[in-house]
Structure 1
């Protein structure tokens, strides 16, 4: 089943910054420089979106509320989905409420992307694991990644066009049942199966994945996603 279907290339997107940093904000009224930590906003695919605020930008005083200016459309770098989020504001100690500057989109009329990271984000939590898996699928060329409509018996199920992925975000080892359930669910959906694990597969599960042709990837604590079998290695070529 793997390799028989041509895979549509995902959107040409940059990698999401998961380890956030504060941005400097300059108040045009008092010239004081403050700092603001961009919030993490939950995309429907499970990957947190970090708004692309300009570091060191000049804030715009909010003199009156305008509904159209209170919302910001940002494209998720993992799945390409565009969502409107409340535009962040910063309260300067001088009493001025500032609307924060956002990085311009790459082309006129396009939607800005979330900020990119300086390196791999370590995997410390279940959400980190799902984020790493979704971003890796994006690097493999899959776009529109989202939570699968049919949840997995255990772990988290992600889906894209022609693909069904099982992510075990805990340190529990993958079992034969996990691999077989993923393979059967993908077969029923007419999709290719892919598995991600933090704890690694049990020996019987690894053998079952080889027999069924299910690619398995290890989610390392450093953020590295490492292929565990030949089927996974073929996906990265």
Structure 2
């Protein structure tokens, strides 16, 4: 690292970032989804439940709890105060929630979506790279069998870094190049499935844009204080 050392809890997150594709979600991106759901749903979110099955260090769980009556938090990695569940392998054993909402590991996203279809009573929302939409295999498989109800494309970049949460345009103390600011060349969107009254996932995909809202929705308390330690002297 260029200028410091991650504290113990974040070292675990970085290792998970290597092994499990852990890229923490800025809470404002979850609040943007919640605002959209609150405007679109017939029944208030305040009487519904949600399950975040790849909760990591709870960065998505906290804004979900601002809106939903109850939020179940789980992950396969022991980050902290949450249930230990390997979501894609869990099957029918867990009580259903109204919603399953998460930022799944990219290489397991389709498995997470398939399990979420079983676990969610009302809807599924997955935060994915926009490139997730363009695979020939997914178009012929997942998106043909279960077309999303909505694709919510972010008009501004959602900055997600491996194993750590840094405010966009703030200096990343763990960047390989000292003084580099947190940014991203990756585009993200929410994919949303709404279950129909018949219990099925009707297909009629509509594209919507999430207009710039980061400055309005983010809070200083969203971002961890990593308490960066000074770099030690170079070995002699």
Same-fold call, TM cutoff 0.5: no
Using the size of structure 2 for normalisation, the TM-score is: 0.32
Q: Which has the higher strand share?
A: 1
Using the size of structure 1 for normalisation, the TM-score is: 0.32
Compare relative contact order (CA 8 Å, sep 6+) and give the higher one, 1 or 2: 2
Which protein is bigger by CA-based radius of gyration? 1
Q: Which has the higher helix share?
A: 2
